[in-house]
Structure 1
Amino acid sequence: MDLLKLKDKNVVVMGVANERSLAWGIAKSLFEVGANVIFTYRKERSLAKLEKALESHGYEPKMVVQCDVNEDESIQHAFTLIGETIGTIHGIVHSVAFAHAEDLKNDFVETTRSGYAFAQDSSAYSLIATAREARRYMAEGGSIITMSYLGAERVLDGYNVMGVAKAALEASVRYLANDIGKDGIRVNAISAGAVRTLSAKGVPSFNTILGQIEEKAPLKRNITQEEVAKMSIAMLSDLSSGVTGEVIYVDAGYHIMG
Structure 2
Amino acid sequence: MGLLDGKKILVTGVLMESSIAFTVARLAQEQGAQVVLSSFGRQLRLTQAIARRLPEPAPVVQLDVTDAGDLEALADRVGEHVDHLDGVVHSIGFAPQTVMGGNFLAGQWPDVATALEVSAYSLKSLAVATRPLMGRGSSVVGLTFDAQYAWPVYDWMGVAKAAFESTARYLARDLGPDGIRVNLVSAGPLRTTAAKSIPGFEEMEGGWPARAPLGWDVSDTGPTARTIVALLSDWLPATTAEIVHVDGGVHAMGL
TM over 0.5: yes
2:88 paired with 1:101: no
- Greater fraction helix: 1
Measured after TM superposition, the shift of residue 57 of structure 1 is 4.3
2:126 paired with 1:137: no
Which secondary structure does the structure 2 equivalent of 1:136 belong to?
Answer: helix
Cα distance change, pair 228–145 in 1 and its aligned pair in 2 (3 A): same
Unaligned runs of at least 5 residues, structure 2: none
2:65 paired with 1:51: no
Unaligned runs of at least 5 residues, structure 1: none
Measured after TM superposition, the shift of residue 85 of structure 1 is 4.7
1:96-175 to 2 correspondence within 5 Å? Answer: 96-150=92-146, 152-175=147-170
Q: Greater CA deviation, 132-141 or 154-163?
A: 132-141
Match of 1:206 in 2: 201
1:24-103 to 2 correspondence within 5 Å? Answer: 24-44=22-42, 46-61=43-58, 63-83=59-79, 85-103=81-99
Q: Greater CA deviation, 159-168 or 214-223?
A: 214-223
| CA RMSD of superposed structures (Å) | 1.6
Q: Is the 8 A contact 2:181 2:240 kept in 1?
A: yes
Which secondary structure does the structure 1 equivalent of 2:23 belong to?
Answer: helix
Which secondary structure does the structure 1 equivalent of 2:133 belong to?
Answer: coil
In 2, the alpha carbon distance for the partners of 1:220 and 1:190 equals 18
Q: Is the 8 A contact 1:148 1:190 kept in 2?
A: yes
Measured after TM superposition, the shift of residue 217 of structure 1 is 1.5
Candidates 17, 20, 28, aligned match of 1:19: 17
Task: Give, as a single letter, the amino acid of the residue that structure 2 aligns with 1:75.
Answer: L
Q: Is the 8 A contact 1:72 1:129 kept in 2?
A: no
TM-score of the two chains, using structure 2 as the length reference:
0.94
In 2, the alpha carbon distance for the partners of 1:188 and 1:127 equals 11
Cα distance change, pair 187–58 in 1 and its aligned pair in 2 (3 A): closer
The percent of aligned pairs where both chains have the same amino acid is: 35
Which secondary structure does the structure 2 equivalent of 1:133 belong to?
Answer: helix
Match of 2:247 in 1: 251
Structure 1 moving runs of 4+ over 6 Å: none
1:177-256 to 2 correspondence within 5 Å? Answer: 177-222=172-217, 224-256=220-252
Measured after TM superposition, the shift of residue 194 of structure 1 is 0.7
The count of corresponding residues between Structure 1 and Structure 2 is 253
Q: Is the 8 A contact 1:14 1:23 kept in 2?
A: yes
Deviations 1:61-114 (A, max 9, x none): 1x3100001112211212232136522111000000010012112421111110
